[in-house]
Structure 1
Amino acid sequence: MIKIEKASVDDIEEISMLAKNIYLKYNSHIDTEEGINNVLLFISSDNMRLRFFMEGSLILVARNENNSILGMIEIINYDHISLFFVDDKYFKSKIGTRLFEEAKNILKSDKYTVKASDYALEFYKKLGFIKLYNDIQEENGVHFHYMIY
């Protein structure tokens, strides 16, 4: 039984580790060294805590029956997905879809943006996002597809 709920500050260390593991395994191969360092800094527990407290980011987690975190989504400014990761053992299990649907229920925005990794591009398309540019974008060594929902 998977439950979706708002994260607490006590969850941030586990969330940060999940994000780091999945990023390094699936997304980092096309980023430059500068880009990898920038992403790792962004997903660090310290920076995540700052966004949580100072910017009021919405962080939702998916938990299993053992209370382990299997997935997470972070939305900043009420409409931008800044982080979205699911444990790779649970890819294609609808956890990501459920996280996004719950975030939409809470925030009630009519549009969302994301800088999607190349690896996650097809997932975002299935959620209903469209690419704003044909080519992959690059910013500070990080490669992404700018998408809107």
Structure 2
Amino acid sequence: MENSLKYQIKVLKMEELEKALALIYNVFMEFEAPHYSEQGIKTFTDFIAFNSIKNMIQDDSLNFWVCYDRKKIVGVIAMKEVSHLGMLFVDKNYHRKGIARHLFETVLTMVRNNFKIKEITVNSSRYAVEFYHKLGFQDTNLEQIVDGIRFTPMKLQIEEI
């Protein structure tokens, strides 16, 4: 694994939202969309529409962090209502370099230090189930399809520090 110190993680600046959403869209279309129905693709692309995400960020129901390789955004993570991991995407050229884990650990530290929650949930894509298991997440149900979105619900118990 490459040294994660070469990558910087910061809270998303609104002026970078379009770049972050483009990364999410591109990774989704390559790795997830092939397993989705047209309805699922539409549901997801509607969800990540600029104004939709901008409104969620502004009303503080969605918090975004981005990972940079110099000035290029190479990964994003978003938490909904602090305790639900809503999105985690890494540029395909940066897979298997520890970026997703580094993004998650950054968010986990923030959650542990600032909130009194006992678990983090995620609706994992097929592609990411093994990754979330490695982080300690456990399935809470079988794979489901809702509005065309295919996912496995999972949760991670957060220990007290």
Instruction: State the TM bucket, normalised to the shorter chain.
Output: over 0.9
Q: Which residue of 5, 12, 27 corresponds with 1:7?
A: 12
**Cα distance in 2, alignment partners of residues 57 and 126 from structure 1:** 25
SS at match of 2:96: coil
Equivalent in the alignment of 2:125: 117
TM-score by length of 1: 0.94
How many angstroms does 1:55 deviate by?
3.2
Q: Does residue 1:73 correspond to 2:77, yes or no?
A: yes
Equivalent in the alignment of 1:54: 59
After superposition, give the CA deviation of every residue in 1:70-116 in whole Å (9 maximum; x if it has no partner).
Answer: 00000011100111100111111111111011111112243110111
RMSD of Structure 2 on Structure 1 (CA)? 1.1
Q: Which moved more, 1:71-80 or 1:48-57?
A: 48-57
How many angstroms does 1:117 deviate by?
0.5
Q: Does residue 1:142 correspond to 2:149, yes or no?
A: yes
After superposition, give the CA deviation of every residue in 1:122-147 in whole Å (9 maximum; x if it has no partner).
Answer: 111111111112x3101001100001
Q: Which moved more, 1:17-26 or 1:100-109?
A: 100-109
**Cα distance in 2, alignment partners of residues 107 and 136 from structure 1:** 27
* Deviant stretches of 4+, over 2 Å: none
**Cα distance in 1, alignment partners of residues 109 and 52 from structure 2:** 26
Give structure 2 stretches of 5+ with no counterpart.
1-5, 157-161
Give structure 1 stretches of 5+ with no counterpart.
none
Q: Which residue of 25, 46, 51 corresponds with 2:30?
A: 25
